[in-house]
Amino acid sequence: MKKLLILGAGTAGTMVANRLCQLLDRDEWKMTVVDQHPTHYYQPGFLFLPFGVYTKYDVVKPKRDFIPYGVELIMAPIEIIEPEQNRVRLGDGRYLDYDFLVIATGADIHPEQTPGLAEHEWGKSIHTFYSYEGAQALFKHLRTWKGGRMVVNVVDNPIKCPVAPLEFLMLADWFFHEKGMRDQVELIYATPLPGAFTKPIASKLLGGILEQKNIKVVPEFMVEHVDPDAKKIVSFDEQEVAYDLLVSVPLNMGSEVVGKSGLGDELNYIAVDKHTFLSDNYDNIFVLGDAAAIPTSKAGSVAHFAVDTFGENFVRYTEGQELQPLFDGHANCFIESGFGKGVLIDFNYDQEPLPGRYPLPGVGPFSLLEESEPNHWGKLMFRWMYWNILLKGHELPLPAHMSMNGKWLSKQAA
Amino acid sequence: MATRTIAGKTVQVNEEGFMTNPSEWSKEIAVEIAKEEGVGELTPTHWKVIEFCRQDAGNGGKAPTLRRITSVAGVTTKEMFALFPKGPAKKVARISGLGKPEGCV
């Protein structure tokens, strides 16, 4: 029996387990998944928790429910990966050896990396929605918040779901309107980027939407420390932004075990081929999802398209054939913009987001880079699709590769 | 692919003005771009960072992120902002004739 070991039962690891379970001959392969946390979170739902749109029942389910029959799930911390010995040591001292290893240990927030952030004001005037506990605490805080200056700050890139901070601000605009106190709230976005988003056309269009909603962007703001007593964030080049409520997106880093095992870069992400996910250094290690150092968004949609291309490629590889450069960096993200509307973007390594219609050219129902109601329904529908289709490794009626059909190049100059 | 002339040499650039062929780079070009970017005179510390970035990028032309520069090259983030004000990683990449750092996607 050949042994396939998957580290991490989050979005990417669970999808890999389900997809390979369908593709590999179960008489020849033993598949094992390791994870230390029993709960699977629908992370895109964290965005909605602070505003009471979702509750915990929408975003929390047991991981075990999504691991297919016949795949062994071991609940234990991972101590170290020993790639030279083709084995992994668990926290309880057990060794697991493998023929092929899939690392899907994801990324997490590290507020302790920014001085002043996670100290005595953490959970009081300083919050985050980038964790389940954080989003729940912020929900409680917002229920009684009297208003003032709310600053959303991204510490550094890359972060999971790079559009989430924008969505949070636009939902906040809607939320405070509904509460009849928008005029008592100032909304500010302090970001290390030169504008609202990374890619020029989307940055311009999204920047325009923020402006309409009276959300102020402070660009090129790289936070050095937080002064929790004076309630201000201070940048490396000594700019200051004062706040009454700071909503931080702390530094995102890959798993500690990756760094400890000598596999990661300075943020504990692992260097892989960006089209095949094969490790640069080991020919039997693949890295899927947020753990990989590839220049695409750290998001479930990317992991989904990635797993779509990875499955067949992996089977081919184990049969002694060459890997095909199948993954094109395809991402598509619904961006919730408040008041029952949303924006959709669709892009890859080479093509930045453009306006248009998706998935049917000219028809939609979704509009690219434009606010519309169907985009909002798409976002809400996505939660059902995530739990019932994506995680279980079923195919979506959407191609893994990005298509230029339905995208409007002529508007590029606009 | 567009081209432009810097310090008397015609080089290839992308739509954001980053040089696309690191082998077309020269120290004279670096001096010229540094002026354009408002960095001014290049000191030995500037050159230390530029040389680190050139070396780190190797032949692929992939520019290091700010975090990589500060963790490996022995320059603090604060110093980087003093040396290359406003978006240091992007500025040093441009001056070093490399592509845009891939940290921001």
ipTM of predicted assembly, 2 dp: 0.80
Question: Residue A250 has which token pair?
Answer: 């702390």
User: Number of A:B CB contacts under 8 A?
Assistant: 44
Q: How far apart are CA A282 and CA A270, in angstroms?
A: 11
Does residue A410 register a pLDDT over 80? no
CA-closest candidate to residue A380, choices A47, A11, A152, A129: A47
Query: What is the domain extent for residue B50?
Result: 2-95
The chain-wide mean pLDDT, for chain A, equals 94
Q: How far apart are CA A221 and CA A368, in angstroms?
A: 28
Is there a domain that residue B105 lies in? no
Does residue B91 register a pLDDT over 80? yes
What is the amino acid identity at position B26?
S
pLDDT of residue A401: 87
A313 touches chain B (CB under 8 A): no
Does residue A326 register a pLDDT over 70? yes
CB contact under 8 A, B86 and A295: no
CB contact under 8 A, A295 and B78: no
Q: DSSP letters along A353-396, please?
A: --SEEEEETTTEEEEETS-BHHHHHHHHHHHHHIIIIITTTPPP
CB contact under 8 A, B81 and A236: yes
Is there a domain that residue B103 lies in? no
Average the pLDDT over each of A242-246, A288-292, B75-79 and give the range with the smallest value. Answer: B75-79
Q: How confident is the model at residue A324 (pLDDT cuts 50, 70, 90)?
A: very high
| Residue B16 with chain A: CB contacts under 8 Å | 200
Q: Which of A157, A220, A236 sits opposite B78 (nearest CB)?
A: A236
Domains parsed from chain A with CATH numbers:
2-106+255-318 (3.50.50.60), 110-251 (3.50.50.60), 332-413 (no CATH)
Does residue A54 register a pLDDT over 70? yes
| Residue B87 with chain A: CB contacts under 8 Å | 194, 220
Interface of A with B in 260-279 (CB under 8 A): 265-267
Does residue A358 register a pLDDT over 50? yes
pLDDT digits (tens, 9 = 90+) for B32-86: 999 999 999 999 999 999 999 999 988 666 889 899 899 988 899 999 999 999 8
Average the pLDDT over each of A36-40, A47-51, A236-240, B59-63 and give the range with the smallest value. Answer: B59-63
Q: How confident is the model at residue A413 (pLDDT cuts 50, 70, 90)?
A: very low
Is there a domain that residue B104 lies in? no
| Residue A194 with chain B: CB contacts under 8 Å | 87, 90
CB contact under 8 A, B102 and A267: no
Helix, coil or strand: residue A86: coil
Is there a domain that residue B102 lies in? no
Question: Residue A355 has which token pair?
Answer: 């306006």
Q: How many domains is chain B built from?
A: 1
Pick A164 or A393 by higher pLDDT.
A164
- Segment A386-404 mean pLDDT: 86
pLDDT of residue B61: 65
Is there a domain that residue B36 lies in? yes
Does residue B103 register a pLDDT over 80? no
Q: Which of B78, B90, B105 sits opposite A297 (nearest CB)?
A: B105
Q: How confident is the model at residue A27 (pLDDT cuts 50, 70, 90)?
A: very high
Is there a domain that residue B101 lies in? no
Q: Within 10 A of A216 (CB to CB), how many other CB atoms are there?
A: 15
B1 touches chain A (CB under 8 A): no
CB contact under 8 A, A237 and B85: yes
Distance from CA of B23 to the nearest CA of A (A): 23
Q: What pTM was computed for the model?
A: 0.92
CA-closest candidate to residue A308, choices A282, A332, A284: A332
Is residue A88 within 8 Å of A80, Cβ to Cβ? yes
Active site residues of B: 104
Distance from CA of B28 to the nearest CA of A (A): 27
Q: Which of B72, B102, B105 sits opposite A162 (nearest CB)?
A: B105
Is residue A39 within 8 Å of A60, Cβ to Cβ? yes
- Segment A217-227 mean pLDDT: 95
Distance from CA of A157 to the nearest CA of B (A): 6
Does residue A191 register a pLDDT over 60? yes
CB contact under 8 A, A220 and B87: yes
